[in-house]
Amino acid sequence: MSRFEKVDQLLRRFAAPGQGPAGCACAIGQDGQLLYEGYHGYADLEAGRPITEDTVFRLFSMTKVIVCTAALMLYERGEFLLNEPLYEYFPEFRHSKVVKLTPNGYSYVEEAKQPILIKHLFNMSAGLPYPSDHLGTASAMRDVISGLREKHGKYDLRTEIKALAEVALAFEPGTRWLYGYGHDLVAGLIEVISGKSVGQFLKEEIFEPLGMRDTAYRYQGDIESRMAAFYERTEEGKLVKVDPSLDEHHQPDAIYEAGGTGLYSTVRDYLAFSQMLACGGKAQGVQILGRKTIDLMRTNHLDETQLSDFRNSYHAGYGYGLGVRTMMDPALGHSNTSIREFGWTGFAGTWVSIDPSERFSVVYMHQMIPNMEEYHHLRVRAAAYGCL
């Protein structure tokens, strides 16, 4: 049995008819070298198109790791500090409001006692959820976004950020952890500081230096024809092709570029990015990010209250750093990874794990909802790290 046969067997099982996604892909690297890549099943079942090294996947929230890395490049250049208030860059947030609850359950709004700090954007403690959340704050965000669409049709990220400043936060900044809009604000920060769209900044500062030719927000070349189909798995186990609404932002005439979602990539491209972070921030002879900044990124930034908000069975043993989960307790996480192994996950089933102590990284991708992340990702994690 070859060193990575156990990984290959696992992927074949995932992609077997009736078992999970239509197809899946995985690559493993160490010390800047490709150790393994495996492609199984179909990118498009109906067309009989197989998953290959050229298959393009929607990253969804794995966009976040790239965007936070880009912002930390600006941090290293002295362009901002983590403890600075957001209103220094977006004045609209100078007098943020917060939703409060009375003891008998009634809600009211008052001015926040402290401002949103830049670090709150990175570690998801700013108090702004995603608009799809069930909270009242999310409902208010939906109303604002609906108004923007009626007024502008298409609009850019900074227009949205400025409009959302009027929404009352779900809690005092920095007091809880709530998954949501924080990294879109990080992308807005990149745009304000650099004077470029976040997509242009990523292209110039990360994608081109790392040779990531198949990673972007907009379709280019033959990308659209290489995209994996997006499937929904029914309760009966049938895979039904669905049309992701966010694909509209890949069109050449789109102008919106989010910080928390929106990029597409290939497994090889994302492995190049992950290997850069695993190997001290350097790749292709270029220093993208400093080693000590990567250490800061993968340090837990949550207190005990916030950790209780963050952790579930999927995130057992992990804390949360500057845009990434980070392993704090392998025993609690039932994990054979190292302490401070870090990464994140995407809505449709993409996953990355990065371990600088081993200069090792793993990228796995499929395109299915529900993504069955706990079943698939934690098994890939066990198998991949078992190869060390």
Tokens of 321: 């750093």
Whole-number pLDDT of residue 244: 78
Residues 349, 366 contacting (CB under 8 angstroms): yes
Between CA 74 and CA 201 the distance in angstroms is 11
Residues 327, 333 contacting (CB under 8 angstroms): yes
Whole-number pLDDT of residue 380: 98
Backbone φ, ψ for residue 276 (5° rounding): -60, -45
Domain ranges of the chain: 5-73+197-385, 82-194
**Torsion angle of alpha carbons 118, 121, 124, 130, nearest 10°?**
150
Average pLDDT value over all residues in the chain: 97
Between CA 217 and CA 157 the distance in angstroms is 13
The model's confidence at residue 105, banded by pLDDT at 50, 70 and 90, is: confident
**Mean per-residue pLDDT, 154-164:** 98
Backbone φ, ψ for residue 184 (5° rounding): -70, -35
Whole-number pLDDT of residue 245: 75
Euclidean distance between the first and the last CA atom of the chain, given in angstroms as a whole number: 15
Burial of 271 (0-12, 13-18, 19+ CB in 10 A): buried
**Torsion angle of alpha carbons 194, 199, 203, 207, nearest 10°?**
120
Given this structure, which CATH class describes domain 5-73+197-385? alpha beta
Above pLDDT 70, what percent of the chain? 100
Give the pLDDT confidence of 196-248 residue by residue, as tens digits.
999 999 999 999 999 999 999 999 999 999 999 999 999 999 999 998 777 99
Task: Using the predicted structure, report yes or no on whether residue 1 has a pLDDT greater than 70.
Answer: no
Buried b (16+ CB within 10 A) or exposed e, 348-373: bbbbbbbbbeebbbbbbbbbbeebeb
Give the pLDDT confidence of 313-352 residue by residue, as tens digits.
999 999 999 999 999 999 999 999 999 999 999 999 999 9
Between CA 240 and CA 215 the distance in angstroms is 26
Whole-number pLDDT of residue 103: 84
Buried b (16+ CB within 10 A) or exposed e, 157-184: bebbbebbbebbbbbbbbbbbbebbbbb
Q: In terms of Cα–Cα distance, which of 73, 52, 325 is closest to 205?
A: 73
Residues 6 or more apart from 78 whose CB is under 8 A from it? none
DSSP letter string, 323-337: SSEEES-TTTTT--S
Q: Looking up tokens 């099982």, which residue turns up?
A: 13
Whole-number pLDDT of residue 20: 92
Phi-psi region of 237 (alpha: psi -120 to 50; beta: other; left: phi over 0): left
Whole-number pLDDT of residue 157: 98
Between CA 118 and CA 122 the distance in angstroms is 7
Give the pLDDT confidence of 295-306 residue by residue, as tens digits.
999 999 999 999
Element (H, E) at 145: helix 136-152
Between CA 296 and CA 338 the distance in angstroms is 16
**Mean per-residue pLDDT, 63-68:** 99
Residues 6 or more apart from 359 whose CB is under 8 A from it? 30, 31, 32, 275, 278, 279
Between CA 35 and CA 3 the distance in angstroms is 9
**Mean per-residue pLDDT, 169-189:** 98
Tokens of 352: 């990355």
